[in-house]
Amino acid sequence: MSGEDAPAQQQNAVDQKQETKPAEEPKNESPKTESAPAAAADTAATPAAAAEKVPEEETFSYRALVLTGYGGYDKVKLQVKKGKPTLKAGEVLVRVKACGLNFADLMARQGLYDRLPSPPVTPGMECAGVVEAVGEEVTDRKVGDKVMVLNRFGLWQEVVVAPANHTFLIPEGMSFEQAAALPVNYITAYMMLFDFGNLRPNQSVLVHAAAGGVGIAATQLCKTVTDVTVFGTASASKHETISEGGVTHPIDYRTKDYVEEVRKISPKGLDIILDPLGGSDTHKAYNLLKPMGKLITYGAANMLAGQKKNLIAVAKNWYHQFSIHTLSLIQGNKSVCGFHLGYLDGETELITQAMNAILDLYKEGKIKPRIDSTWHFEQVGDAMRKMQERNNIGKVILTTEPMPEEEKKEEPKKEDKKEEKKKDDKKKDDKKKDDAKKEEKKDDKKKEEAKKEEKKEEEKKEEVKKEEK
C-alpha cells in the first residue's frame, strides 16, 4: 500500500463501518435509547472524518520556481502551488531536498532551449530527495528511499512526481547536494567519452569550460583511464583547481589562443574534443583533430551573451555553424558526433546503464561531484548569474530549504562585496590600461610627426646648402 493511498483507504474503512452499523444493531437487539447516542456519535464522526480529508487535499501546498516568460534573471519566480499531485501507475512522489542548475536552464530562460515547454513552466532536469509515496506497479522503490531524479523539466519544486524508472537510489554517504549534481553532468560526460568517444589509454582530450559541471565530470572520468592527457580551457584564476582535479594542461582562453597552445604541446592534434561552444569554435575543434579523432558537440554556449537573448550572438553563432561534406570526413579520417541528453529522455535503458556505471565509479572513490555553491530558491537569480558569468568552479545547487528571515534582511555578504569590488577594480585597471595604451599611441604618433618634421627641416637645410653652392 502506498503512502499516498493510505488516507483514502482509512477513510473508506470508516465509511464502511458507518454503513454496516444500522444493519448490525437489530441483531444485537440494542435498545433504541442506547443506539441514539451511537448514531449521533457516528453522525458527528462523519463530518469530522470528511473535514480531516478535505483540508489535507485542498490545503496541501508546495513552493515551486516558475519561468514566467523569456528574458532576464527576474523571469524565474518563486510561487506556491496548491493541491497534492496525483500518482499514476509506475510513478513516485518525491519530497525534494536539492536541485541542480544546468547551462540548459540558462538557455531555457532566454527561450533558446526547445525541450522546455512555453512559459509558465517549472524548469529543472535533476533533483534529489526522499520518496513519500509510490503508485501502482512500482516494485523497486518504497517510501523512505533516498533518490535522485532525472527528467526533461519540472523538478525545481518542493514536491515532484516522476516515473519510477527516472529515479536512481542514492549511494550510502552521498549528500542530497552531491546527488543533485550527478545525473545531468556525469551522464553527459560519460556517454560522450565512452559511448561516442571510445576513450582508451594514452589518448588526448580537450575539455572546454573545464571548471564547470560537465568539465569537472569529464576530467574525473578521463582520469579513470590510464595515461589520458587532458587539455582544459578556463580562466587563469581556476587553473590551480582544475589542475588538482586532473587537467594536465590548463589554458586561459581569455588571454591565449587555445588552438596555438594545444599545437605547441600536441602538434598532431587531439583524439577527442568535447565542444559545448558552437559557432566558429566547432570549426577550430574539427581542425584540431588527429586522424581517427572524434569531435563531440553538445551545446551552443556562444549564443549566451548577457542575461537576455542577444540576437546578434545568436545570428553570429548560426552564421558560423559548422557543416561538412561526407567526402571531407572520409578524406580526413575524422568523425563528428552530436549529443543532447534532453532528446534521450525516452532511452531509459541507455541512461540507466550509464548511471549504473557512474554510481559504481563513485562507490569505488574514482569520481565525486564538486559543489561550487548552494542557493535557496529565493536566490535563484543570483545562482543563475554566477553560472552565466562563469564564476563557478563545479556545480551550482538550489536547495528547497526556505531561506531564514534574518538572511533575507541581511546586507550582501562580505565575500560578495569583495567579489564586486574585485570586478570594479578590474574594470578600472582595464580602463587605465586602455587609456595608457591610447596615450602611448598618441605619444608615438607625436614622436613620428616630430621625426617627420625634423626630416623635413633637414631636407630644407640640404636644399638651401645646395642652392648656396
Share of the chain above pLDDT 70, in %: 71
pLDDT of residue 376: 98
Pairing outcome for strands 91-100 and 159-163: antiparallel
**Is the model more confident about 423 or about 293?**
293
CB 184 within 8 A of CB 102: yes
In whole angstroms, give the CA distance from residue 455 to residue 310: 52
> Where in the chain are the domains?
61-181, 183-368
Buried b (16+ CB within 10 A) or exposed e, 123-150: bbbbbbbbbbbbbeebeebebebbbbbb
Tens of pLDDT, residue by residue over 44-62, are 444 444 445 555 566 899 9
In whole angstroms, give the CA distance from residue 50 to residue 17: 14
Of 190, 213, 207, give the one whose Cα is nearest residue 106: 213
Is pLDDT of 423 > 80? no
Q: Look at domain 183-368 and name its CATH class.
A: alpha beta
CB 162 within 8 A of CB 31: no
Report phi then psi at 310, rounded to 5: -105, 105
In whole angstroms, give the CA distance from residue 228 to residue 249: 12
Crossing angle of helices 280-287/258-265, nearest 10°? 10
The mean-pLDDT minimum among 215-224, 265-274, 310-319 falls in 310-319
For 61-181, the fitting CATH number among 3.10.20.810, 1.10.10.10, 3.40.50.12660, 3.90.180.10 is: 3.90.180.10
Integer Rg of the chain from CA: 32
Is pLDDT of 426 > 80? no
In whole angstroms, give the CA distance from residue 231 to residue 215: 11
* Sign of the C-alpha dihedral computed for residues 291, 296, 299 and 301 taken in this order: negative
Of 176, 178, 149, give the one whose Cα is nearest residue 164: 149
Tens of pLDDT, residue by residue over 230-281, are 999 999 999 999 999 999 999 999 999 999 999 999 999 999 999 999 888 9
